[in-house]
Amino acid sequence: MKTDGIVCFAGNDWWMHNPMTEKQWMRQFAADGTAVLFVNSIGIGMPGAGSPHVARRLLRKLRSLARWLRRDEGVWVLTPLLLPLWSVAPVRRLNLFLLTLQLRHAIKRTGMSRALFWAGIPTAALLLRHVHHDAVVYYVQDNYTAYYDSMSFTRVREDHETLLRAADVVICASVGLAEREAAFARRVEYIPHGVHPAFLEADLDSAGRDLPKALRGIPRPIVGYWGSLEALQDRALVAALARRHPEWSFVFIGRKMVDLDELEALHNVYYPGYLPIEDIPEYGVHFSVGLLSFVQTEWIRYSCPIKFREYLALGLPVVSPPIIEVERVYPGEGHIARTVDEFSAAIREAIETDTPERRRARRALVADESWAASAARVRAVLDSLDADAEASGAQAPATHESTRPASGADKEGSA
């Protein structure tokens, strides 16, 4: 990759979230000597009135904003000041003006002059004419148009379509997304989320012994989940399963982002609390089943749950609602269910057919799916953009469409 570096408009926040895909990849690129500016999420809109814990999320964002521009693990991280009211034209123009000033300063600090434009959020489309760049990568890790339509002050569909047209390559996190976006983008690459080394290195033979203190006394079998406990969790499904199967224990590890009083009142539902990602395998290896208990929506159907491969890395059988990634990538390894009856039968079958040999076979499926391996695949894609640019340059001088001077309402400046 011959560009000066990467300006990454991330879909998450470096400081607020567990190390997600873009963070893992960008710090790998930085470790390899590439200059990286990681722009914490500039937002897509405002949460709907029914969105839980808005005040808590706002407080966390303010803490991130207080850091503004800092270097961490070799990566420059910027939390820009703006108002996420993107569908309001005057506010949008103000945001572009503020972002341009902040980006100009941050890019200067990194030493970049021109960079690769990495869009991990649809709203980044608005910055295409404000950041000098040599190529555009659009990272589609979610079914954006299905999920964010519930938000206010968003223009997600327009921005998503703009990036699909502008991108030199669209990297998709799931098979379903890759197939869907291939109808609109000039080039699509499927690169799923990687697996943290802690899951791939966990001792599968320790299952059932050397229990962490928080799991001692919890009857087996254990149907488990880890991750943020948000509105996307089908709490009614879990409650119905827990009531129907008092002989099973349901263990959920993660931050509570919604009201869980009804579930916590059930005697066979347990919450050990939040754990750093590095500590989760010590607990997860003792689970009997890895549960994906998501509400069944189009957003979920096209998703690539990181937990799916993490479950397999710990050798766990997986029970899931219909998700294209789970259904098709490793055929037969995801038990698919839609109703309480189907989940009940699928979990029972997963428990009864599991063996140590099958656990090792599941681990082998994802042995080469580490974060480092996925970052190497992305690096290869970025290097191929250089080759494409050289081939084009040999024919005639060219200027990337998105680097032309801004016009009309978008003339707020460039970084």
- Bridge-based pairing state of the strands 318-320 and 334-336: parallel
- Which single residue is written with the structure tokens 């000066």? 4
For residue 335, pLDDT over 70 is answered with yes
| CATH number, span 197-365 | 3.40.50.2000
Strand partners, 195: 370
Alpha-carbon distance of 357 to 227, in angstroms, equals: 27
| Residues 6+ positions from 414 with CB-CB distance below 8 Å | 100, 129, 130, 131, 132, 405, 406
Region of 34 (left: φ > 0; alpha: ψ -120 to 50; beta: rest) is beta
Angstrom distances, CA of residue 334 to CA of 312, 325, 354, 398: 10, 9, 13, 47
Q: Any idea what the Cα angle at residue 141 is, between residues 229 and 399, rounded to 5°?
A: 150
| Residues 6+ positions from 396 with CB-CB distance below 8 Å | none
Average the pLDDT over 17-21 and give the result. 73
What element of type H or E holds 99?
A: helix 89-110
Peptide bond into 221 cis (omega under 30): yes
- Which single residue is written with the structure tokens 């879990």? 238
Q: Could you report the per-residue pLDDT of 73-100, keeping only the tens digit for each?
A: 999 999 999 988 888 899 999 999 999 9
| Most distant CA atoms of the chain, gap in Å | 71
Average the pLDDT over 21-31 and give the result. 94
The pTM of the full predicted model, rounded to 2 decimals, is 0.87
Chain-centroid distance of CA 231 in Å reads: 16
Angstrom distances, CA of residue 244 to CA of 239, 249, 317, 393: 9, 11, 20, 66
Encoding tokens for residue 104?
Answer: 């100009």
At residue 411 the predicted structure's pLDDT band, cuts being 50, 70 and 90, is very low
pLDDT for 198:
96
**CB distance 403 to 113 below 8 Å:** no
- Residue 331: CB atoms within 10 A of its CB come to 7
At residue 409 the predicted structure's pLDDT band, cuts being 50, 70 and 90, is very low
Q: Could you report the per-residue pLDDT of 235-271, keeping only the tens digit for each?
A: 999 999 999 999 999 999 998 888 888 998 999 999 9
For the chain, what are the domain ranges? 5-194+371-410, 197-365
At residue 412 the predicted structure's pLDDT band, cuts being 50, 70 and 90, is very low
5-194+371-410: which CATH architecture? Answer: 3-Layer(aba) Sandwich (3.40)
| Residues 6+ positions from 131 with CB-CB distance below 8 Å | 7, 103, 107, 115, 117, 414, 415
Same fold for the domain at 5-194+371-410 and the one at 197-365?
yes
For residue 62, pLDDT over 70 is answered with no
Residue 275 is given by DSSP the state -
Mean predicted lDDT score pLDDT of the chain = 88
**CB distance 182 to 164 below 8 Å:** no
| Residues 6+ positions from 29 with CB-CB distance below 8 Å | 6, 36, 375, 379
Q: H helices of 217-294, where?
A: 235-244, 261-264, 280-284
